[in-house]
Amino acid sequence: MGRIVVDGSGPPYVAGGDDYRITVDGDVVKASGATDQDSVVGGQIGGKIGDGTDSYEFEGTVISASIPSHSDLYVDGQKVSPSELPIRSGSTSSGSSGSSGSSGSSGSSALTASTPTAPTGSPSTPAPVAAGLGEGNTALLAGTAALALLAVYMVQS
């Protein structure tokens, strides 16, 4: 199992605590520091962090997090920012090389798709992939080209 820690022990200290939210795509259970004001429902963790730490055990992938600016987020002992998510349990590196989210330690993070690239060893990048269309839209591009050729043929006839 992996471990998630929300650490609010650094200044400024917040009386009563600030809200945080973490989404995991697997199982989560409360561990040390988590109290009645902290909850786990499915893969959704919600709580308040003041001067202290809340810990959770999890399996799966930490998908996103929104934590207060005075807090730090640790996944499996490694300090991470929400923009580095998703991170799989037992992994010490980011789960997505093309992820993009908020900078710093506050706000939410969401996975975004990376720009498609040619397969390794390919001598050149095909035009649709280079244009960011991806392989799924290659058929659409080919169909559009065929219609254009048909229109030219009909005009010439």
Task: Domain ranges for the chain, please list them.
Answer: 2-110, 127-156
In the structure encoding, which two tokens stand for residue 104, read together?
Answer: 């710093």
pTM, rounded to two decimals: 0.58
Give the per-residue pLDDT at 124.
44
Supply the pLDDT for residue 11: 78
| Amino acid sitting at position 4 | I
What pLDDT shows up at residue 46?
Answer: 96
Q: Provide the sign of the torsion angle of the four alpha carbons 91, 97, 98, 101, taken in this order.
A: positive
Three-class DSSP category at 147: helix
Residues of the chain where predicted confidence (pLDDT) is lower than 50: 92-141
**What pLDDT is attached to residue 121?**
46
pLDDT for 138: 45
pLDDT computed for residue 91 by the predictor: 66
Residue 6: beta bridge partners? Answer: 54, 73
Which pLDDT does position 123 carry in this prediction?
45
Q: What is the pLDDT of residue 152?
A: 65
CA distances from 38 to 34, 35, 101, 143 (A): 6, 5, 25, 54
Encoded tokens for 138: 């290659």
